[in-house]
Amino acid sequence: WGACNHVFHLHCILKWVHSQTSQPHCP
């Protein structure tokens, strides 16, 4: 569970960072 959750968390961060480049804003 920890490993899967970690991967999912990284995926969310990557998507968030990618979104930041288009429209920067605080989460």
* pLDDT, tens digit (0-9, with 9 covering 90-100), for 1-27: 455 566 667 777 778 777 766 555 555
Tokens coding 23: 């429209």
pLDDT at 1: 47
Written as one letter, the residue type at 22 is S
Specify the pLDDT at position 19. Answer: 73
Q: What is the pTM of this model?
A: 0.37
CB of 16 within 8 A of CB of 27? yes
Q: Where are the domains of the chain?
A: 1-27
